[in-house]
Every structure is written in structure tokens, then in C-alpha cells.
Amino acid sequence: MSAIFESYEREFCEFSSSIHRGVDGVKTAADATTRGRHAKAIEADVAECEALVRRMDLEARSVSDPAVKTPMLNKLRDYKSELAKLKRDAREASAKAAETDARDELLNTAERGNAAGASDGGMSGQAMETTERLARTGERIKDSRRSLLETEDLGVSILQDLQGQRETIERSREALHGADDTIGRSRKILSNMSRRAQANKFAFYGVSALLFIAILTVIVHRWSR
């Protein structure tokens, strides 16, 4: 295993742990400022993970030894899947933060409106309107998050299919190289066999000529007697 690849692995694991802590921080944050800080940290860590995966990809493909390259490519596939999951968790955390911020803002607006309208008896109507607005906003956020997750799943599926097709092409290319080598060796064997056949043919013709001359000499010798 490449030492550079292993160093990229360690960094990826560190940023992955940081992203998980950030996601938990978004869920447990008590105010919008803290949620925003965690969301920005998650975004930066995801970018670092993406960069590390690209570096691991380049490092793995630069290795020529199949015994070393194949395990690296297998690990790279796992890290790509992990990156897709981290990105999905990050988007869910951001959507959750946005939903919580919107709900808090609406509640604050409702409280201010209720305080201002308490003197004219409009508290109940204002609260109902605020609740309805809050419900509509929550539904829109959920729909947006659902669409993002579906898009992410589709992207991951496409990437996995492309990865599988690329591996199939690479295996086919290696098989073609092996076939070319086999054909080359077969051509050399056939060429050697052809040369030997030619040599055997010339030897046969030579022996036949010698026999013919010997027979002719015997016949002439007998006729001369």
C-alpha cells in the first residue's frame, strides 16, 4: 500500500469524524449562530474530503503493480460511497438548521405580533395565521430535502454504474493485451515452424537428389560393363 495513499486515508477519517460531530452539533445547537457555525464547518470538511478522494484516485491509478493497485481501488470505492453519505448527512443537517431557523423566526414574529395585538383582541387570529405559515414553511423544507435526497441517490447510483463500466473496460483492455501477447507468441512459433518446414523440405530434396544420382551412377556403371 502506498504511504501517500495511507496518509490521505488518515486525513479522510479525521475530516469524516469532524463532519459527524458537526452534524450532531447542528441537531443540538440552541441558537441560530451556533447552528450556522457548525454548518460552515461541515461544508469546509466536506470540501476537504472531496479533495482527498480525488488525490486518492490519482494516487491509486498511478500505481502499475496490480497486487498493490487493486486493494487501493477497492478502498477508493468505499471512500467514495462514504463521501456520498457524508454529503447527504451534511445536506440534511443544513436543511434541518434552515428549518429550525425559519421556525424560530416565525415564532419570534408571532410573539411580537401577539404582543402588539393583545390590546385589540387579535391574539388568537395572529397565532393561528403564524401556525399555518409555520406549517407551510416546514412542508416546503421537507419537500426540498426529499428532492435533494432523491437527486443524491440518483447521482450515487449513476457514479457506481460508471465505476463498474470503467472497471469492465479496464479488464477488457487487459484481456486484449493478453490476447495480443498470445497472438505474438503464436506468430513466432508458426514462423519457426515454417522455417523448419522449409529446411526439412530442402533436406528432403537434397537427399532425393543424392539418391537419384547414386542410382543413376549404378545403372550407368552396369550398362558400361
Domain region containing 181 = 3-185
CA distances (Å), 147 to each of 27, 126, 136, in order? Answer: 21, 32, 17
Grid cell for residue 135: 406549517
Amino acid at 58: L
Residue 217 lies in a domain: no
Selected residue with higher pLDDT from 165 and 50: 50
CA distance 30 to 22: 14
Amino acid at 221: H
| Claim: this prediction has a pTM higher than 0.85 | no
Lowest mean pLDDT among 13-22, 45-54, 108-117, 205-214: 108-117
pLDDT band at 50 (very low <50, low <70, confident <90, very high): very high
C-alpha angle 25-30-36 in degrees, rounded to nearest 5: 60
Residue 125 lies in a domain: yes
pLDDT of residue 131: 65
CB 31 within 8 A of CB 25: no
CATH classification at residue 7: 1.20.58.400
Domain count, the chain: 1
CA distance 52 to 58: 10
Q: Is the pLDDT of residue 124 over 60?
A: no
Q: How far is CA 225 from the centre of its chain?
A: 97
pLDDT tens, 74-89? 999 999 999 999 888 8
